[in-house]
């Protein structure tokens, strides 16, 4: 009886079809499962006469191994086939691949990174700050008089809270400098706000460069925008002079535009520096000969700079008798326009692919 069952099961196991997942599953349940037919036979082993038990046991074990081996082999074969199966059998695998179109880097990113690399090589580390600022960091700490026209609603975007009033100064150390009256928040009009934050919080000497987005309430045209980017820098230590400032600017301009570019400092006025200067360089279009871009002067302006006003140092609790420093600011758009000879500021934000594709691919 037992011998017949074993023979029948052996025949079934050797001939079972194992061509698809359903058949594989059925085989596993019937022959390998805990409640399968092979398990049944193992249960019946106790009914076998004692003298035959050993031989029958060996037969059953051999059969179990055979079933397991068949199952493993069929399963591996099924998996290999699944891996190689074409998703679409009609697809022509000899076709050349469709190239993956990589993007290009935005010209403002290219120029920003290049500027930061150049200043990084002489020890200026990047500092960043919030785009929504308070009056202290944007104006008061930077020595803007109460009635300075830059504070006018025409130039500055003020931020209102959701309840309709001006946002309270909640976050930062400006409270320590100001009265407890809530002060209006605004979109920063320059990255000098980060200079104030760095001077207030970092140990001396300070050598920082601050890139960022700034906002002015201006009509958008080829030459003006309500949003643009600056890179500013500040250096504060004992005995810093205007000569140090000039050397830093010379170094930067020649690294960025080449050694044949001339630089001149034109006296100017900013509330936060004294003395102050505008930085002009040789017009890159006409090489100084005169063209309509430089209004036939041979010079173009790239930014402003100066020695940090002692009042600004005092506002940041730095002793102006002991320390001095210089600062500068440049527009990234301005430099990109000169470098790539771009004539319309609006191109930077319009995302016209014909414009963007002209710059270095990633
Ligand atoms: Zn020119």
Measure 346 CA to ligand 1 centroid, in angstroms.
Answer: 21
Highest mean pLDDT, choosing among 75-84, 115-124, 148-157: 115-124
Measure 53 CA to ligand 1 centroid, in angstroms: 107
Q: What is the mean pLDDT of residues 50-71?
A: 89
Contacts of 127 (CB under 8 A, 6+ apart): 194, 197, 198, 208, 209, 210
Q: What is the mean pLDDT of residues 193-206?
A: 93
Tell whether 101 is covered by a domain.
Answer: no
Distance 246 CA to ligand 1 centre (A): 23
Q: Does 114 lie in the same domain as 54? A: no
- 23 and 122 part of one domain: no
Sign of the dihedral through C-alpha 72, 75, 77, 79: negative
List Cβ neighbours of 14 (8 Å cut-off, separation of 6 or more). 66, 70
Same domain, yes or no: 9 and 120? no
Gap from CA of 290 to ligand 1 centroid (Å): 4
Would you say residue 144 lies in a domain? no
140: enclosing H helix or E strand: none
Q: Are residues 194 and 121 in the same domain?
A: yes
Distance between Cα 244 and ligand 1 center (Å): 28
pLDDT higher than 50, residue 289: yes
pLDDT at 156 over 90: no
- State yes or no: 274 annotated in a binding site: yes
CATH number at residue 216: 3.30.930.10
* pLDDT tens, residue by residue, 82-135: 776 666 777 888 888 888 877 888 999 999 999 999 999 999 999 999 999 988
166 inside domain: no
CA of 300 to the centre of ligand 1 (A): 7
Range list of β-strands (E), 24-148: 125-126, 132-134
Element (H, E) at 45: none
Query: Residue 100: what pLDDT?
Result: 80
Spatial contact of 343 and 337, defined as CB atoms under 8 Å apart: yes
Cβ–Cβ < 8 Å for 325, 199: no
Peptide bond into 205 cis (omega under 30): yes
pLDDT range class, residue 173, cuts 50, 70, 90: very low
Whether residue 181 is contained in a domain is answered as: no
C-alpha 160 – ligand 1 centre gap (Å): 44
Residue 301 CA to ligand 1 center (angstroms) comes to: 11
Q: Which of 5, 61, 15, 69 is nearest to 37 (CA)?
A: 5
Residues 7 and 72 in one domain: yes
Cα of 159 vs centre of ligand 1, distance in Å, is 40
Do 126 and 36 belong to one domain?
no
CA distance 139 to 193: 8
The yes-or-no verdict on residue 175 having pLDDT over 80 is no
What is d(CA 166, CA 160) in angstroms, rounded to the nearest whole number?
Answer: 5
Q: Which tokens go with 92?
A: 């022509």
Cα of 267 vs centre of ligand 1, distance in Å, is 21
DSSP 333: H
Rounded to the nearest angstrom, the distance between the alpha carbon of 243 and the centre of ligand 1 is 28
Task: Write down the mean pLDDT value for the chain.
Answer: 86
> For residue 180, what pLDDT is reported?
46
Q: Is the pLDDT of residue 264 over 70?
A: yes
Residue identified by tokens 């016209």 is: 352
Does one domain contain both 220 and 284?
Answer: yes
Distance from the CA of 153 to the center of ligand 1, in angstroms? 35
Do 316 and 199 contact (CB within 8 A), yes or no?
A: yes
pLDDT value of residue 343:
85
Q: What is the pLDDT of residue 112?
A: 94
Torsion of CA 21, 23, 27, 33, to 10 degrees: 50
Show Cβ contacts of residue 221 under 8 Å, excluding neighbours closer than 6 positions. 345, 346
Does 285 map to a domain?
A: yes
Q: How many domains does the chain have?
A: 2
> 121 C-alpha vs ligand 1 centroid, how far in Å?
30
Q: Quick one: pLDDT at residue 178?
A: 45
> Distance between CA atoms of 249 and 212, rounded to whole angstroms?
19
For ligand 1, the distance from its centroid to the CA atom of residue 238, given in whole angstroms, is 39
What pLDDT, on the 0 to 100 scale, is given for residue 148?
Answer: 77
CA 335 to ligand 1 centroid distance, Å? 14
CA of 20 to the centre of ligand 1 (A): 77
Cis amide linkage into residue 275, ω under 30° from 0: yes
Does residue 137 lie within any of the structural domains?
no
Rounded Cα–Cα distance for residues 284 and 272 (Å): 30
Q: Are 246 and 345 in the same domain?
A: yes
Q: Say if 160 falls within a structural domain.
A: no
Give the model confidence (pLDDT) of 212-228 as tens digits.
Answer: 999 998 888 887 888 99
User: Is the pLDDT assigned to residue 77 strictly greater than 90?
Assistant: no
Provide the token pair at 265.
């400092």
Residues 113 and 77 in one domain: no
Q: Which domain holds residue 75?
A: 2-81
Question: Does 10 lie in the same domain as 112?
Answer: no
Strand pairing class (125-126; 206-215):
parallel
CA distance 265 to 13: 95
Please give the Cα distance from 129 to 214 (Å, whole number). 11
> Which domain-ending residue is among 81, 99, 122?
81
Q: Are residues 77 and 209 in the same domain?
A: no
Q: What is the pLDDT of residue 47?
A: 86
Does 227 reside within a domain?
Answer: yes
Task: Identify the pLDDT of residue 85.
Answer: 65
Q: Whole-angstrom Cα distance, residue 294 to residue 46?
A: 106
Cβ–Cβ < 8 Å for 208, 127: yes
Q: How far is the CA of 287 from the centre of ligand 1 (A)?
A: 6
Q: Are 201 and 346 members of one domain?
A: yes
Give all strands (DSSP E) within the chain, no chain letters. Answer: 125-126, 132-134, 158-159, 185-187, 206-215, 227-237, 263-270, 273-282, 299-308, 324-331
């Amino acid at each position: 009886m037992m011998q017949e069952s074993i023979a029948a099961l052996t025949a079934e196991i050797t001939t079972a079809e194992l061509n698809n997942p359903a058949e594989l599953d059925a085989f596993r349940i019937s022959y390998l499962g805990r409640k399968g037919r092979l398990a049944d036979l193992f249960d019946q082993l106790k009914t076998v006469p004692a003298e035959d038990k050993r031989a029958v046991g060996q037969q059953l074990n051999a059969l179990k191994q055979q079933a397991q081996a068949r199952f493993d082999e069929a399963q591996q074969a099924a998996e290999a086939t699944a891996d190689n199966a074409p998703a679409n059998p009609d697809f022509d695998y000899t076709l050349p691949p469709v190239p993956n179109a990589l993007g290009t880097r935005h010209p403002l990113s290219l120029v920003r990174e290049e500027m930061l690399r150049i200043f990084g090589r002489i020890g200026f580390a990047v500092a960043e700050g919030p785009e929504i600022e308070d009056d202290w960091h944007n104006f008061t700490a930077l020595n803007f008089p109460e009635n300075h026209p830059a504070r006018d609603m025409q130039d500055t975007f003020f931020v209102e809270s959701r309840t309709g009033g001006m946002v309270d100064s909640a976050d930062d150390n400006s409270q320590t400098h100001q009265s407890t009256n809530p002060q209006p928040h605004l979109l920063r009009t320059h990255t000098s706000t980060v200079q104030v934050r760095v001077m207030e919080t970092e140990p001396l000497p300070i050598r920082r460069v601050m890139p960022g987005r700034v906002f002015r309430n201006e009509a958008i045209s080829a030459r003006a925008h309500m949003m643009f980017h600056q890179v500013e820098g500040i250096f504060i230590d004992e005995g810093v002079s205007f000569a140090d400032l000039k050397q830093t600017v010379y170094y930067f301009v020649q690294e960025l535009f080449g050694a044949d570019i001339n630089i001149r400092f034109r006296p100017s006025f900013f509330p936060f520096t004294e003395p102050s200067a505008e930085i002009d360089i040789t017009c890159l279009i006409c090489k100084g000969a005169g063209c309509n871009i430089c209004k036939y002067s041979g010079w173009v302006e790239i930014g402003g700079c100066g020695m940090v006003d002692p009042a600004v140092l005092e506002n940041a609790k730095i002793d102006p008798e002991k320390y001095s420093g210089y600062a500068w600011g440049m527009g990234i758009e301005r430099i990109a326009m000169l470098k790539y000879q771009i004539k319309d500021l609006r191109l930077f934000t319009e995302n016209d692919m014909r414009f963007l594709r002209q710059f270095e691919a990633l």
